[in-house]
Amino acid sequence: MIAIAERQTSQVPTKLYQRLSSKEKSKRIMKWIRLRDKKLRQKFGFLKHQDALGLGITLGSASGMILFAGLYIAGIIPAWACIVVNGVLASLLHEIEHDLIHNLYYKDNLRIQNLMFWTVWIFRGNTVSPWYRRMIHTLHHKVSGHREDIEERLIGNGMKFGWKRFITMLDGNMSFLFQAHILRREAPKFKRSEITRSSWPYLVIFYHLWYNFLFINLFYIGNELLGKPVEVPAWLDSIRHFLNIAAVVYTIPNWIRQTSIQIVSSNMHYYGDVKGLHDQTQILNRWFLFPLHLFCFNFGSTHGIHHFVVNQPFYLRQAVAPFVHPAMKRYGIRFNDFGSIFRANRLGNQEALLT
């Protein structure tokens, strides 16, 4: 009876898509993405105005951040509302920057493109220059999952699970301190001097505001708990007031935005045993990721689509995702592989080699 059952099992036909190579599976996924993209563009005429849409989202998001900052300063809205809205608007600007890196808006008009680059950098100050990011992000698509991938390794991809990785995902400066010496050795295109230059002026300004906000408020809290042994001068109160306002309208929203995308991105990309496009990413779309996805525009659910078709604006990636996800699952893309963080983002179960 056992022998008969084994023969019957062995005779069950393998489905066609299970016999495809990884390269062919990737091609099939690309076809599904482009098919849905084409239908949406045909159905909605306004999608033809891609340049105008990109510029409109840029100016609208920047104006929205200014508006909600003004409403908070005027006492019309609470701090939490300003933080949430400005964090979401900053995430839109991050997506615009990413699309600009791929030349999706005004590719024949560098003046407008550079204006958009400056805008998204000013309103998201805790990032390196967009022009430097264009270099490392283009490189990311060429070497995703390998040692040379500067962009992902700077935010923790490939690191062992532990306190160093946790801090790396939370703080860009600490990430640089932890990873720079490794990247200098393993990534030929990594240059400390280039990152330093690309940090001026906005990244430097941002972190001065952020760290001073944290340290001064920690001092005030500690002084209060100890019964106010230190008499605080009036000028320090004024500085604290300014830093607290800057934190609500600018630094806290951007810290939340950046941390959210670094946690999601560093965990949805695979590292080390990646053999090709099909192995580079997974899809993260569980409901409990909503707080992170709110501030990184559903990145974990849609960025894998971008790896297969790069010349697609972020809003169309969102639109095609419900249609494309079943095809991606059918052709072997992993979904919600949360164990990857404990494997240092390896596809397999081998022990991580990096620290």
Asked if 114 and 123 touch (Cβ cutoff 8 Å), the reply is: no
C-alpha distance across the termini of the chain, in Å: 53
Residue 38 lies in a domain: no
Other C-beta atoms within 10 Å of 7: how many? 9
Residue 93 lies in a domain: yes
In 3D space, the residue among 159, 158, 354, 164 whose CA is nearest the CA of residue 271 turns out to be: 158
Q: Is the backbone of residue 20 left (phi > 0), alpha (psi -120 to 50) or beta?
A: beta
pLDDT at residue number 353 = 38
Question: pLDDT over 70 for what percent of the chain?
Answer: 94
pLDDT at residue number 349 = 60
pLDDT at residue number 14 = 54
Residue 33 lies in a domain: no
Asked if 93 and 123 touch (Cβ cutoff 8 Å), the reply is: yes
As a whole number of angstroms, the distance between CA 65 and CA 73 comes to 12
Q: 264-322, pLDDT tens digit by residue? A: 999 999 999 999 999 999 999 999 999 999 999 999 999 999 999 999 999 999 999 99
* Structural domains counted in the chain: 1
Residue 222 lies in a domain: yes
pLDDT at residue number 173 = 87
* Residue 221 reports pLDDT greater than 70: yes
> E strands, the chain, where?
none
In 3D space, the residue among 253, 243, 250 whose CA is nearest the CA of residue 218 turns out to be: 243
pLDDT at residue number 47 = 98
Q: 3-55, pLDDT tens digit by residue? A: 443 343 334 345 667 789 999 999 999 999 999 999 999 999 999 999 999 99
pLDDT at residue number 16 = 63
Quickly list H helices, 187-276. Answer: 192-198, 202-225, 234-246, 252-268
> Would you state the structure tokens that stand for residue 130, as one six-digit string?
């967009």
Residue 296 lies in a domain: yes
As a whole number of angstroms, the distance between CA 183 and CA 164 comes to 16
Q: Please, what is the average pLDDT of the chain?
A: 93
pLDDT at residue number 350 = 47
Asked if 33 and 321 touch (Cβ cutoff 8 Å), the reply is: no
Q: 135-179, pLDDT tens digit by residue? A: 999 999 999 999 999 999 999 999 999 999 999 999 988 899 899
As a whole number of angstroms, the distance between CA 146 and CA 186 comes to 10
DSSP 247: I
In 3D space, the residue among 92, 84, 38 whose CA is nearest the CA of residue 60 turns out to be: 92
Q: What is the pTM of this model?
A: 0.92
As a whole number of angstroms, the distance between CA 176 and CA 208 comes to 16
Domain span at residue 160?
Answer: 44-343
Residue 34 lies in a domain: no
pLDDT at residue number 310 = 97
* Residue 187 reports pLDDT greater than 50: yes
In 3D space, the residue among 152, 137, 93 whose CA is nearest the CA of residue 310 turns out to be: 137
Residue 35 lies in a domain: no
